[in-house]
Amino acid sequence: MITMINQERITKEFMDLVQIDSVTQYEQQISEVLKTKFTELGLEVREDNTKEETGHGAGNLIVTWKAEGTNEAPKLFFTCHMDTVAPGEGINPQISEDGFIRSDGTTILGADDKAGIAALFEAIRVIQENNIPHGQIQFVITVGEESGLIGARAMKAEDIDAEFGFALDSNGEVGGICVAAPARAQITMKITGKSAHAGVNPEDGISAIQVAAKAIAAMKLGRVDHETTANIGSFSGAGPLNVVCDYAEILAEARSIVQSKVENQVDHMRNALQATCEQYGAKAEFESDIAYPAFKLTDEDEVVKLAARAITSAGLTPQTFPSGGGSDANIFNGFGIPTVNLALGYEDIHTTNERIKVSSLVEAARVVVSIVKESAKS
> What would the pLDDT profile of 288-342 be if each residue is shown by its tens digit?
999 999 999 999 999 999 999 999 999 999 999 999 889 999 999 999 999 999 9
Give 7-181+294-376's CATH code, choosing from 3.40.50.10420, 3.40.630.30, 3.40.630.10, 3.40.50.300: 3.40.630.10
**Residue limits of CATH 3.40.630.10 in the chain:** 7-181+294-376
**Low-confidence residues of the chain, pLDDT below 50?**
none
Which residues participate in catalysis according to the annotation? 83, 145
pLDDT of residue 27: 98
| Structural domain 183-292, CATH architecture | 2-Layer Sandwich (3.30)
pTM beyond cutoff 0.85: yes
pLDDT of residue 21: 98
Cα separations in angstroms, 121 against 27, 227, 316: 19, 36, 21
Does a cis peptide bond (omega within 30 degrees of 0) precede residue 225?
no
pLDDT of residue 70: 87
218 CB-contact burial (10 Å; exposed 0-12 / middle 13-18 / buried 19+): middle
**Residue limits of CATH 3.30.70.360 in the chain:** 183-292
pLDDT of residue 1: 59
pLDDT of residue 63: 98
